[in-house]
Every structure is written in structure tokens, then in C-alpha cells.
């Protein structure tokens, strides 16, 4: 099912059956009875790991910005439950009264916290695992909690490419029953697996920029070209007097045996501005984010309103992850019903964008758009 849903039918919303009584999800079974470390550690935050490679990637500003832009969108979206009916011409999406977990899947954490971190796992690792903590009486999921990928191992497939749902799952060294895990897979490979060299280059570049920013580069060099050689103390005194004269806008005097040469170190060279911008463009491509959303100049390609920025962010970056989430959650509902994101508020300015595109003759200067409006 698509993420976007039309709501042509506002008549008679279909009333769902009341949710069955909630019961605790079975933790393990006979096969897992001897290995309970995994389930027993769920909810013990001290044992959770985000992953070293993921944390290193997040120290790169362009990656962190890309991740946060997309995560912030999901933090402000609501899930809704729908079905489809035939209206005589085509299938139409009809909203249903949602099951309670669509409003809060994890009883301990709100959805606007949970789903950005579900996206985080998909973005960096290419998959996310939700552990079912309770079920309805008819066996469907009633609540779940996220298991961070840094604490997950799957002996039946080690990545970096995932071929399907794992049948062997270990959480912090203990086996958990795959039947109690909602496995969500990204349509693209996890970012940390397909871009190790790009991330390493960005980190080395940031290290070089930090060293340069911390280094005291002289504004110029005084050089003795003849006469009796000056001692180190005399040279230091001469340089100090010369600097004081320049700082107070006075005349600095040099004799025929001394010359002053300015260094050619400039801020853009010292901070490797061109190299940093090129690397940011590479990361934007890697993250499927239009570069201008990261404040990078891209020539004539730009939009001058937030609708264009939102549309680009959704279309090129976030939508595939959002659909992966809703498709997996839809498998936890009775047949004939499905989950989708309510994108109306986020994309409500699309018509304004279309109008702007049709009435603008010349490309506009790039500006970084505000997405939070």
C-alpha cells in the first residue's frame, strides 16, 4: 500500500471491532528457555548500544544534519489505520478508528520519540527490530519496544546486505524468539556499510580543520638578509616592536638588512572550506538529501519556499523509510487493514509549490530553507 492516502470517502467511517483484551506476549518458548539473557535485558538501558560505527558517523556534521532533518519529520507525524473499499470506479482509502498502539506503541515512550529512532536504525543499519511486549487476545501486537541495532546480532546473516527476516536473533548475547520481533528492513543498504571510506575521509578532514584552527599561524615573517646576525632574543624583541607598531597603526621601520613578508594563509585555506563543501556534497548524495537542505550551494537548483524543501526532503530522502515502517506495522493488523502516515500537514503547501514553479521564469539564489514551519 502507498503511504499517501486519499480520503474521498468521508461518509460512514467503518467502525472497527473493539480491541480484544491485552495479554503479555510470550517471551521465548521451549527452544529459548535455556537462553533468557536476551529477553531479560530488554528495558535495562545500561545494556543498550547504539553502535560504534553509527556514533562515529554522527560526529560528521553533514550526516548528523541529514539524519536529524528526516527524523524530525517523523517526530511530528501521526499514524492512522485505514482500509480500502470499491466505490464503483476505483479503490478508495477509508480511515478507521485506530488501535491504541498507533497512538503510543511503546507504553513507556511516546511515538514522537520512538519512530525517529526506528528511522535511525533503518538509516544507519538498514533494519530495525521492535520487540513485541504484549499482544491482544487474538494474537496481534498490542505494544512493542525498540531494540537498538548496536545490541543485535543475527548469526544467520551478518550483513551488510540483508536478504530477509532473520531466524536467529540475539540481543546482548541472549537469544530472543523471532516470532516476538517485528523486523523492519530498509529498501537501501545501511549508510554505515556502504560509505565507510566517505565517512573516514570526512572524519580525517574534520581532524585536519581542527588542527589548523588550533594552530597559531604568524601573520608574516621578518627575515634578516644581511649584516651581523641577530640573536634569538634580538629577533624576538624586533618582532614584538614591529607587531606593536602595526597594532597601534604606527609606522614600523625596517633597515636594509630586514624584510617583512606576509603569509598567504587565509581562513578559507586554513579551514579547508572547498574540501569540506565537496565532502558535504558527497554525504548529501549518500544520504539521499538535496544538498541545498544542508546549506550547500548547488548552482541553479533551488526552491524559494518551504513547500519545495519539504517536498524534496520527503520524496528523495524520507519516504522510502516511512513506507518500510508502515508496511511492517501493517503486517501486525488483521488482513484488509493497513497503517499509513498522515502527511497532510507536512505536505499541505504542495499546491503552492506547483504554482510557484509554473510562475517562476528564472532560478533563484540558493538559500537554506526552514523546515520546521
pLDDT in tens, 38-67: 888 999 999 999 999 999 899 888 899 999
Full-prediction pTM beyond 0.85?
no
End-to-end CA distance of the chain: 29
pLDDT digits (tens, 9 = 90+) for 236-265: 787 787 777 766 766 666 676 777 776 666
Per-residue confidence band for 79, with pLDDT thresholds at 50, 70 and 90 = very high
- ∠ CA 312-159-156, nearest 5°, is 135
Q: How confident is the model at residue 5 (pLDDT cuts 50, 70, 90)?
A: very low
**Interatomic CA distance for residues 74 and 113, integer angstroms:** 9
Q: What separation in angstroms does the CA of 165 have from each of 127, 134, 185, 194, 286?
A: 10, 21, 8, 20, 25
- Phi (first) and psi of residue 343, to 5 degrees: -95, 5
Per residue in 253-303, pLDDT (tens digit) is 667 677 777 666 655 565 666 677 778 888 888 888 888 888 877 665 555
Q: What is residue 226's predicted lDDT score, i.e. its pLDDT? A: 74
Would you state the pLDDT for residue 66?
92
| Separation between Cα atoms, residue 225 and residue 293, nearest integer Å | 53
Helices of type H across the chain: 37-41, 52-58, 61-75, 111-125, 191-194, 196-214, 232-247, 267-270, 273-286, 306-312, 319-330, 350-359
- For the chain, which residues make up each domain, given as ranges? 22-194+274-359, 201-271
Q: 130-169 as b/e, with b when 16 or more CB fall inside 10 Å? A: bbbbebbeeebbbbbbbbbbbbbebeeeeeeebeebbeeb
SS3 158: coil
Nearest-Å Rg of the Cα atoms of the chain is 29
Measured distance CA(292)–CA(311) in Å, rounded: 13
CA nearest to 186, candidates 310, 70, 303, 32: 70
Digit-coded pLDDT (tens) for 7-44: 444 433 434 444 444 454 543 333 343 345 788 899 99
- Give strand pairing partners of 346: none
Rounded to 10 deg, the angle between the 61-75 and 196-214 helix axes is 120
According to DSSP, the residues that pair with 313 across neighbouring strands are: none
Predicted local distance difference test score (pLDDT) of residue 94:
86
Cβ neighbors of 369 (< 8 A, separation 6 or more) are 292, 293, 303, 305, 306, 308, 309
Let me know: does 145 contact 132? Beta carbons within 8 Å. no
Are 126 and 53 contacting, i.e. CB atoms less than 8 angstroms apart?
no
Strand 220-224 to 181-185 pairing: unpaired
What's the chain's average pLDDT? 78
Residues in the chain: 373
Structure letter (DSSP) for residue 335: T
**What is the residue whose three cell numbers read 563543501?**
277
Amino acid at each position: 500500500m502507498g503511504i499517501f492516502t486519499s480520503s474521498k470517502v468521508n461518509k460512514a467511517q467503518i467502525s472497527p471491532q473493539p480491541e480484544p483484551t491485552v495479554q503479555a506476549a510470550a517471551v521465548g518458548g521451549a527452544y529459548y528457555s535455556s537462553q533468557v539473557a536476551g529477553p531479560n535485558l530488554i528495558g535495562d538501558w545500561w545494556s543498550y548500544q547504539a553502535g560504534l560505527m553509527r556514533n562515529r558517523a554522527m560526529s560528521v556534521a553533514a550526516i548528523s544534519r541529514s539524519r536529524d532533518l528526516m527524523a524530525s519529520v517523523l517526530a511530528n507525524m501521526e499514524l492512522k489505520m485505514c482500509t480500502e473499499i470499491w466505490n464503483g470506479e476505483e479503490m478508495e482509502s477509508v480511515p478507521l478508528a485506530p488501535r491504541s498502539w498507533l497512538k503510543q506503541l511503546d507504553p513507556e515512550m511516546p511515538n514522537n520519540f520512538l519512530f525517529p529512532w526506528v528511522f535511525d536504525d533503518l538509516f544507519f543499519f538498514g533494519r530495525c527490530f521492535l520487540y513485541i511486549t504484549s499482544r491482544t487476545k487474538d494474537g496481534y501486537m498490542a505494544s512493542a519496544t525498540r531494540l537498538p541495532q548496536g545490541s543485535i546480532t543475527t548469526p544467520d546473516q551478518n550483513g551488510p546486505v540483508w536478504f530477509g527476516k532473520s531466524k536467529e536473533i540475539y540481543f546482548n548475547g541472549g537469544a530472543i524468539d523471532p516470532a516476538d520481533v517485528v523486523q523492519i528492513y530498509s529498501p537501501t543498504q545501511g549508510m554505515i556499510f556502504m560509505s565507510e571510506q566517505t565517512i573516514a575521509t570526512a572524519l580525517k578532514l574534520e581532524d585536519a580543520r581542527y588542527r589548523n584552527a588550533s594552530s597559531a599561524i604568524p601573520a608574516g615573517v621578518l627575515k634578516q638578509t644581511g649584516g651581523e646576525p641577530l640573536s634569538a632574543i634580538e629577533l624576538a624583541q624586533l618582532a614584538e616592536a614591529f607587531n606593536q607598531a602595526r597594532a597601534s597603526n604606527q609606522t614600523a621601520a625596517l633597515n636594509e638588512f630586514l624584510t617583512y613578508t606576509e603569509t598567504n594563509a587565509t581562513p578559507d585555506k586554513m579551514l579547508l572550506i572547498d574540501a569540506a563543501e565537496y565532502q558535504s556534497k558527497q554525504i548529501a548524495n549518500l544520504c539521499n538529501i538535496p544538498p541545498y537542505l544542508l546549506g550547500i550551494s548547488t548552482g541553479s537548483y533551488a526552491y524559494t519556499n518551504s513547500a519545495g524543501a519539504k517536498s524534496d526532503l520527503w520524496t528523495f530522502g524520507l519516504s522510502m523509510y516511512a513506507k518500510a515502517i508502515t508496511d511492517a506495522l501493517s503486517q501486525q493488523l488483521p488482513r484488509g487493514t493497513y497503517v499509513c502516515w498522515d502527511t497532510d500537514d507536512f505536505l499541505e503547501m504542495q499546491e503552492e509549490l506547483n504554482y510557484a514553479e509554473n510562475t517562476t521564469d528564472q532560478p533563484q539564489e540558493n538559500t537554506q530553507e526552514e523546515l520546521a514551519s
